[in-house]
Structure 1
């Protein structure tokens, strides 16, 4: 009897051992197949503990756009409303099939300046009227609001400049000035522009950015960054992020710090500066991935006549600080900052 029990226990141990071994073999096969099919970084990501974005306290006295009910009811108000329409639906008027003229790539100004330039930390226009005209090192000259608008058209919309005396230019300038109502001259209100993300201590990683993009961005912007066209096919509901229809390499968002700050506070859809859905690292890496991909090129030979004034993340040489284009594009940026401080 005891001998039978011993035999049964030995057999049970053997079966359990074989089952454990079979489990290891099956897991190994799944790991190998998954790695070959979807790539090691994505497979490993399945087993990572997600890192939640840090909570950000709301900013006190945050700028808010004036209410539309304050737009005058006379001809000047009509001009302001037309300006807003142009910012929100640029492609309908100035895109490849534009009602007025065909001078841009089909993106809308509000694809970069969210909610027609009114969203806090969404690249808004709150400080434009109060700070222009002003000297800008990129052109090496004093610039007007009209020049700033045309820079966006030529760079972010990869298009051709409007005449300063055109109805469309006058309307957009009127709208931008109206948004700046109540902002003291020379001041930038809280919530203007973009948030400033802390620099990483290492280069932004486009490979990790690709993984994050495919997990968080691909639904709206497409696997190939092509975006999603609107029903009328004249503009995009979600804009293209690279390729022939996207912003060119002279655009402000081609600078990694600008794009990472934009992504952090606004993407994916529904994010805000104080309720982000991405970590800082994810924002930097997604920016690196998107800006590593092909896009239209602009003649930048006239930009930054004083090369010592180039931003640390302007990715095209020559530079006055001794760092190469790779580091100026992807970082780490802190060593560049420290070197420049020592040269002052």
Structure 2
């Protein structure tokens, strides 16, 4: 099962914004035509931001502490519904996040993912790289009314009352995932460097503070998007079983998680 994938170089998420549950909205998720890219410095920044999010590990080695790219979770460059798309995000931030317990900017949300999903270090808010990422997300959000989420933002909802079964999850991983992500979650390496299919646990995967390390967040992603090309073929129970097996495997720690949900409301699957 191809839980995550890299489609490097193409119009393709560490980057990494909001593995939150999907929200209802009145805006249709529409990806701008490539022909609408502006000329000059702004267009160059948009292209650079897209490249950074698709080849994050190679292009930002000082900020990424594992083997992932942002496009590992934000499929096809953040353009796929219910795969945490970036379309429309620039119009809904600043946004209150209960995990942070405060209103945060989109730059803060991006850095949250660099520190958690990428197990790395934040970008400077005024850096060329952060501005390029913001430019790409702004372009993706063309035509989405300010303050409106697109249909398919975040992940689809999944029944959080379902209880996982470890043995069933292990069997599902062996039959659906191991061919691409390895028998022990180590991923499939690329001879040119990095991963063709990234690791889903171990030292080169996301840390325990990442949204994808949570049972029902991971299950929601799996249910809608995996196996790659056959999203929706697993039942909700199978997705929960599989997510439990994967999320409970060893992965890097994130000590700062003890400060999450400072005002309460910690989800039952929080690590």
TM-score by length of 1: 0.68
2:197 counterpart residue number: 238
Query: How far did 1:102 drift?
Result: 5.5
Equivalent residue of 1:142, what SS? strand
* Aligned partners of 1:200 and 1:281 also within 8 Å: no
Q: In structure 2, what is the equivalent of residue 215 of structure 1? A: 175
Specify which of 78, 90, 97 is matched with residue 136 of structure 1: 97
1:73: Cα distance to partner? 1.2
Q: Which of the numbers 272, 291, 294 marks the counterpart of 2:250?
A: 294
* Structure 2 contact 57–64 (Cα < 8 Å) conserved: no
Which residue number corresponds to residue 266 of structure 1?
Answer: 225
Equivalent in 150, 161, 166 of residue 122 of structure 2? 161
1:297-339 alpha-carbon deviations (Å, 9 max, x no partner): 10112211112x2224324xxxxxxxxxxxxxxxxxxxxxxxx
Q: Which of 242, 258, 277 lines up with 2:233 in the alignment?
A: 277
In structure 1, the residue matched to 2:54 is 88
Unaligned runs of 5+ in 1: 1-59, 96-100, 316-344
Question: Which residue in the other structure is 1:51 paired with?
Answer: none
The answer (yes or no) to whether the contact 2:65–2:204 under 8 Å persists in 1 is: no
CA drift of 1:118 comes to 0.8
1:91 is paired with a residue of what secondary structure?
helix
Matched residue of 1:135: which SS? Answer: strand
| Aligned residues of 1:155 and 1:247 also touching (Cα < 8 A) | yes
Matched residue SS, 1:301: helix
- The answer to whether structure 1 residue 76 and structure 2 residue 42 are counterparts is yes
Aligned residue number for residue 152 of structure 1: 113
Structure with the larger RCO, 1 or 2 (CA within 8 Å, 6+ apart): 2
In structure 1, the partner of 2:154 is 193
* Structure 1: 4+ residue segments shifted above 3 A: none
Is residue 184 of structure 1 aligned with residue 145 of structure 2? yes
Q: What's the CA shift for 1:61?
A: 7.4
Which structure dedicates a bigger proportion of its chain to helix?
1
Query: What runs of 5+ residues in structure 2 fail to find an aligned partner?
Result: 1-25
SS of 1:293's partner is: coil
1:198-241: CA deviations, max 9, x gaps?
A: 2344x2112210100101111110000000112212x2111100
Root mean square deviation of aligned Cα? 1.6
Q: How many angstroms does 1:267 deviate by? A: 0.9
Q: How far apart are the structure 1 equivalents of 2:65 and 2:79?
A: 22
Structure 1 position 123 matched with structure 2 position 84: yes
Deviation at 1:106, TM superposition (A): 2.6
2:9 match: none
Match of 1:65 in 2: 31
SS at match of 2:103: strand
Q: Tell me, yes or no, if the aligned pair for 1:94 and 1:104 is still in contact at 8 Å.
A: no
Alignment coverage as a number of residue pairs: 245
